[in-house]
A and B are shown apart, each in its own frame.
Chain A
Amino acid sequence: MMASGEIRLSSTTMRRMPVLAQSQNPRNTGCPNGTIAHVASTIIQLGQATQAAGQATAAAGTVLAIGGAIASATVVGAPAGAPTAAFGLTAIGVGGATTLVGNGLQLVGGYVMSTQGNGQPLYAAELQAAQTLIETILDVPALPIGDPSDPLVNQLAGQNPCP
C-alpha cells in the first residue's frame, strides 16, 4: 500500500532517472571567458546600476509629487506645493526612462552572455523587463516601500552561477 503523500513515478520515468540526474540546467551551461564575455558582464552590471538609479529617482519623485499635491490642496496659500508636485512628476518621468535604459542594457548584455554559455543573466533581465512592462501598464509608480513582485522575480531568476 502506498503511504499518504508518496509520489509514484511511472516505470518509464524510473528507467530514465539516471539520465535525468546527469543532465544539467540548460540555462546555466558554463561560465564564459574572453573579452566579449567580460564586456557583457560589465554592461549587465551597468544596466543593473542604471535601473536601480532610475527606480530610486522615480520613488523619490512619487513621494515629492504626492507630498506637494497634499500641501497644495490642504494648506491655504502653500506656494511651494504645486512646484514640488511638478518637480516630483518630472522625476517620475526621468526615473521611468532611466529604468527602461537599464532594462535594455541588461537585455543586450544578457543576450550576449547567453550566446557565450551563461543564460541566467538574460533570463533575469527578461523577467525584470516583463515586471517593468506590467507595472507600467498597471500604472504602478515606484515607492520606497518595496515592490511586492520583487521576491517572486528574484526567486524565478535564481542566482548567477558565475562570478
Chain B
Amino acid sequence: MQEPSKRFRAVMLAIYAIAGVALIYEGLRTRFSNGFFGLLLPIASIGMLRFLIVLKVIELPPWFRMGFVNQAPKYGEFTKAAACFVAALLWTVIAVRLVSDTPLGATILFAPPVLLLIAMGVFVMRALFL
C-alpha cells in the first residue's frame, strides 16, 4: 500500500481527535464500564489501531511481526494448541475415573493436563509471533 499523503493523514487524525473528544465528553456524563459503551469502546480502540496500521498512518518497527496485526497467523500452530486443550480435557475426564485418591493418583491425574495446557499457551504464542 502507498504511503498516505499528509492531507489524508491530517483528515484521519482529525476524525479520531473529534471521536476521542466526543467519547471523553460522553464518559464524563455516563459510566463507560457499564452497558453498551463499555463493550463498544475497547472494540473501537483496537479497530482504530488496526485501521491506522493498515493505512500506514502508524508504521510499526520493521522487526515487528504479529498474527492478526501485520501478518497472517499460523493456523497450524493454533490447531496444535486446540489439540493440546482437547487432550488435556480428555485425559482429565478419563483419568479421574481410574486413579485412586492418593498423592500418586493426584500426580497422574493433574501433571499431564497442566503440561498440555502450558504447551497450548506456547503454541498460541508461536501462532502469533513466529
Contact = CB atoms under 8 A, between A and B. Distances in A.
B129 interface: yes
Contacts, number: 130
Contacts of A83: 61
B101 A36 contact: yes
User: Chain B binding site: helix, strand, loop or mixed by DSSP?
Assistant: helix
A132 to B, nearest CB: 12
Interface string B37-75: 011011101111100110001111100101101000000
Given A111-B92, A148-B39, A35 B105 contact: yes
B34 interface: yes
B113 A143 contact: no
Q: How large is the interface on B (under 10, 10 to 19, 20 to 34, 35 or more residues)?
A: 35 or more
Interface of B: 9, 13, 32-35, 38-39, 41-43, 45-49, 52-53, 57-61, 64, 66-67, 69, 85, 88-89, 92-93, 96-97, 99, 101-103, 105-106, 109-110, 113-114, 117-118, 120-121, 124-125, 128-129
28 contacts: A35-B103, A35-B105, A35-B106, A43-B110, A43-B114, A72-B59, A73-B13, A82-B58, A82-B59, A86-B60, A86-B61, A89-B64, A89-B69, A100-B124, A101-B117, A104-B117, A105-B114, A105-B117, A108-B89, A111-B92, A112-B109, A139-B46, A140-B43, A141-B45, A142-B42, A145-B32, A146-B33, A146-B38
